[in-house]
């Protein structure tokens, strides 16, 4: 194996081990030493790939949320109109919930810690602001196209859609079998679209 | 001072000190020893009033959420119809946000820990289920009274309203000045009510 391939493999071992440990014990309670032990790599190897546990988490978060964002953007571009694009995005949540459910409480734990550190805070919440911008842009387009009422406020409505997504992820992560969360999400997006139309 | 009055005062000192410390350092990172030091009480006095840190937190949570629930139930009873009751509840969120904003991330941290302990989990999420029942009951009444469309699903819509509330609290707690959260909440409830009417 080349050095580059070995490096990529080590990096992946660290990412996999940290995901397992974060899911099991949470972000705060997981140490770099434990990650190294689980991944069977040295601390030197860890710090060669990641300057800190925070940097590792930002990396995990970025690849996790970029996947969702990519799927959402594709839905936005392939739908024939804006309400349909939102319905398509809601219909995807079945797969997304499985991926996001376990990760969401860990993301919240990380945010809680990062909110006290201005240096990493902007990077920590960057995906949140990108989703807000994506939603607000789509709503603005829907208003321009006449699909939504002209009194619809894009920024405020984007925050409400984001609230539905976050609030349902939160309930699903604490009560996975309490409801058919995919159906509830579709119906929530539907209610809000109906509200924006009227 | 009587023994009973002294006991009540000690209890309140412990509650106040723990609120400060939980808000400052989070739930996990706060120890009983620190709470005793801040409250200037002995460990013996602490355990006389609370069997554990978890029991103390459940007590804090109960008094915090019961206040909100009481205000919500009053709004439900004094409004002339169900949509108006929801609008009145949304109009209260200004005061409630101030009270809940700081506490919500700590509640989430506690839930995360409690979710691994079946013994306390039911008690930890009891207020969540009471809110869901309150909302679902109001929606059912609104459907019966003809205010909401007959295809409205009370349980699913209650979870969506809960999602809006939780998702906005979450955004407000991480980004308090990012928006006029009271106005966004009113507009979110409004959108969903419009959706349930159509």
Structural domains of chain A in order of their starting residue, each with its CATH number: 1-50 (1.10.10.60), 53-197 (1.10.357.10)
Q: What is the largest CA-CA distance in chain A?
A: 62
- A54-76: average pLDDT: 86
Report the candidate in A174, A168, A173, A171 with the shortest Cα–Cα distance to residue A189. Answer: A168
**How much is the average pLDDT of A112-132?**
87
Residues in chain B: 198
Neighbours of A9 (CB within 10 A): 11
Averaged pLDDT for residues A54-74 = 86
The C-alpha atoms of residue A155 and residue B99 are separated, in whole angstroms, by 25
Q: Which of A29, A162, A191 sits opposite B196 (nearest CB)?
A: A191
Give the CA diameter of chain B. 62
How many residues are listed for chain A in this entry? 198
Question: What average pLDDT does the structure give for chain B?
Answer: 89
Q: What whole-number distance in Å separates Cα of residue A59 and Cα of residue A193?
A: 34
pLDDT at B98: 67
Q: How far apart are CA B174 and CA A196, in angstroms?
A: 26
Whether A174 has a pLDDT exceeding 80, the answer reads yes
Give the CA distances from residue A190 to residues B59, B60, B148, B150, B176, in Å, rounded to whole numbers and listed in that order.
Answer: 38, 37, 15, 15, 28
A111, A159, A168: residue with CB nearest B174: A111
Structure tokens at A37: 């032990």
The confidence score (pLDDT) of residue B16 equals 92
Is the CA virtual torsion A132, A75, A176, B87 positive or negative?
positive
Residues with pLDDT less than 50, chain B: none
Size of interface A-B (CB pairs under 8 A): 126
A156, A178, A183: best to mutate for the B interface, most B CBs within 10 A? A156
Residues B92-138: pLDDT tens digits?
A: 877 666 666 677 888 888 888 888 888 888 888 888 999 999 999 99
User: Cβ of A79 under 8 Å from any chain B Cβ?
Assistant: no
How many CA atoms lie less than 13 Å away from B132 in the CB half-sphere? Answer: 16
CA angle B72, B76, B80 (to 5 degrees): 145
Rounded to an integer, what distance in angstroms lies between the CA atom of residue B147 and that of residue A105?
37
Contact of A64 with chain B, judged by CB distance below 8 Å, is answered with no
Whether residue A99 has pLDDT greater than 70: no
Whether B126 contacts chain A with CB within 8 A: no
Site of tokens 């571009």 = A77
pLDDT reported for residue B101? 62
pLDDT of A82 > 90? The answer is yes
Rounded to an integer, what distance in angstroms lies between the CA atom of residue B188 and that of residue A168? 15
From the CA of A9, how many Å to the nearest CA of chain B? 32
- Please indicate whether residue A49 or residue A99 has the higher confidence score (pLDDT): A49
Please tell me whether the interface predicted TM-score (ipTM) of this complex is above 0.95: no
A47 neighbors A56 (Cβ within 8 angstroms): no
pLDDT digits (tens, 9 = 90+) for A19-51: 989 988 888 889 999 999 999 999 999 999 999
**Which comes out higher in pLDDT, residue B67 or A167?**
A167
Q: Quick check: B188 and A160 CB within 8 A?
A: yes
pLDDT-based confidence at residue A117 (cuts at 50, 70, 90): confident
Q: How confident is the model at residue A160 (pLDDT cuts 50, 70, 90)?
A: very high
CA A72 from chain centre, in angstroms, equals 11
CA of B109 vs chain A CAs: smallest distance (Å): 7
Cβ distance A164 to B167 less than 8 Å, yes or no, reads: yes
Q: What is the pLDDT of residue B157?
A: 95
φ/ψ of residue A73, rounded to 5: -65, -40
Residue whose structure tokens are 């691994």 = B116
The span from the CA of B134 to the CA of B194, in Å, is 20
Least confident of A89-98, A185-194, B189-198: A89-98
Which residues in chain B touch residue A162, judged by CB atoms under 8 angstroms apart? 167, 171
Cα distances from B198 to residues A18, A157, B152, in angstroms, run 47, 18, 9
Return the closest-CA partner of residue B153 out of B106, B118, B192.
B192
Contact with chain A for residue B8, Cβ under 8 A: no
Segment A64-73, tens digit of pLDDT: 788 888 888 8
């Amino acid at each position: 194996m080349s050095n580059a391939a070995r490096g990529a493999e080590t990096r992946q071992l660290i990412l996999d081990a940290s995901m397992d440990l974060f899911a099991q014990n949470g972000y705060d309670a997981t140490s770099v030493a434990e990650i190294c032990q689980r991944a069977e790599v040295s601390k030197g190897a860890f710090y060669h790939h990641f300057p800190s546990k925070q940097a590792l988490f930002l990396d995990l978060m970025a690849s996790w949320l970029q996947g969702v964002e990519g799927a959402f953007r594709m839905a936005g571009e392939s739908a024939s109109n804006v309400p349909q694009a939102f319905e398509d995005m809601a219909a995807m949540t079945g797969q997304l919930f499985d991926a996001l459910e376990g990760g969401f409480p860990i993301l919240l734990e990380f945010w809680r810690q990062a909110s006290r550190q201005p240096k990493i805070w902007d990077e920590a919440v960057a995906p949140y602001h990108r989703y807000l911008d994506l939603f607000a842009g789509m709503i603005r387009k829907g208003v321009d196209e006449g699909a939504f009422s002209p009194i619809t406020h894009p920024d405020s409505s984007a925050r409400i859609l984001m609230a539905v997504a976050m609030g349902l992820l939160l309930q699903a992560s604490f009560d996975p079998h309490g409801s058919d969360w995919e159906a509830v999400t579709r119906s929530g997006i539907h209610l809000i679209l109906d509200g924006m139309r009227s």
